[in-house]
Structure 1
Amino acid sequence: MKVIEHINQAKDTLISFEVLPPLKGKGINAIYNHLDPLMEFKPSFINVTYHRSETMFKKQADGSFNKIEVRKRPGTVGICAAIMQHYNVDPVPHLICGGFTREETENALIDLAFLGIDNVLVLRGDAAKNETFFEPEPGGNRYAIDLLKQVIDLNHGIYLEEEVKDPGKGTFCVGVAGYPEKHFEAPNKATDIAYLKAKVEAGAEYVVTQMFFDNQKYFDFVQSCRAAGINVPIIPGLKPITNKKQMTILPRTFHVDLPDELSAEIMKCKADADVELVGTEWLLNQSRELKKAGVPVLHYYTLGKPKVIWNVVKELV
């Protein structure tokens, strides 16, 4: 079932989760152990992130170094298939531009279609760790809208190979990312929303936001989107604060602000266990306000903290 169908048929705010593929060498039980406690909340769909390769240098016997590409978290397509079979829940694989050619993307889409997976979230992805700025893979998509258009083309039976006979058409429901506090590379919020509108006009059916910790920023973002003519569902993305290091890591990595009240309460904490309590209560209050406002879905970035998410969601359902 498509994400947009879940939303259109819902009578109340839905719940969804997002997980990371385990590090290479870990089995699928790492995912099951993470999700098992959360399944009692009957999530409508589960997102699975995609990760680009990282450049590493392996020392050779002669002292020289050999450049290799390593993907530390492989398996997105396989994990989505496992989630669908194990839990009978719709998976939403992420697709990214970075590290993938257009042909590799097309092959991934064909694999997903064979598996009966008809949802994707398309993202440009971040710059590689050894790059100052994002650089697309040679032969790959440069921007999220280019990736989006490739998915929509496949939905119309248009493949990269022009001579495909009797091409089958994809049925993908495509989501895109939105940034309540502006994408850090956009010159201003108006331009950022214009980019988002272009993606919706190109075929995106819903938006999932970057994490935020001030609901007013989400409400303002939705209002600005509606004023610009963006009328698709806008799903808030939510994440708990669980340790003091996140006070610097999250703003630096994700370019988001922490409200004064939240940061002040965290600074009073003497241990991470206390921070987790503060973060859990903050996330619960965020969730209650958003649900009361009638958001379509509460989407939780679980990312290693399923117990915190469980403690929040159990108070909502």
Structure 2
Amino acid sequence: MKVIERLSLIDRIGRELQSRMSYGEIDTYLKAHGVDIKKPTSGVNSKWVYSKELLADESEDLIIRIADELEVPHNHVVADSTKTLEATFWEPFHFKLFLSHLSSFKSTTGQLQAALRKYGISAFVAHVDIEPTREWMDEIEAGLYSMDALAAILMPGFKESNWTDQEVGIAVGRGTLVIPIMRGLEPYGFISKYQGLNATGKTVAAVAEEIFRILTSSPKTRAKMLSCLTETTLQAKSEVEVLEKLGFLASVKALPKGNLQQLQEAAANSVVLMAAKPLEKLNELLASHKLSPVFFKKSVFDFDDDIPF
């Protein structure tokens, strides 16, 4: 993990602890993870700063494990006690979905990958994401051990393939959510307990939307998916993108107020969110959950052409 990535992850853990816990609860939580809560800190009256200072010297493994438990988005994983795998192909702040598929279906799987991105989902597709110069088995392993969920595109020949069957097996073994996408083959074996998504006769866009609905409704993935959608909304680069993502958030049933409060608090730092239409859409969403609106603040760099010199 690079130094800047480590600092960024600690920062986001601090924000998460700040939003969830009191000082006493932070102490109890971090102490349970073996963090020395008696180490000297700056004394700044901020749970965010306090948490970051306590975590500053902790090991990467511990920071990753805490991030995982708090469901803070990141691209690192501790595979075992001796090896930390880094998956460089996941997009920052996105939900990590491994797409298990037959090579004969790689073109359509690539299109599904592109369709999922607008929901804040980074989908791993081996033929697209593995660099030719990298050991491809290591890359696939990194993807399997850092994924948040796996979608298996079930079609004739899938269960006869050693690779796809092993990919599903790792997901089941890790207790990761498996989404069976049925395209001529019913869920079988250990994945027969999961409700399949019937893709017959549906467009790529429709399948992507159903995957998003499953991820926001499953107890295994709901919190992480919503956290990633919130983060990618804040990272949006255009008004069209941010309006689309706000629309996805508005469509989620029983959307937690915490996600909206995160947008509410961070909106002032996003030029795109503070634009007229996105700000109006955000305030409609806040009002529907009885939260205070965000007001536009004139930048110190704004000026009036008509002011006399």
Higher relative contact order (CA 8 A, sep 6+): 1
Between Structure 1 and Structure 2, the one with more strand by share is: 1
| TM-score for both structures, normalised by structure 2 | 0.31
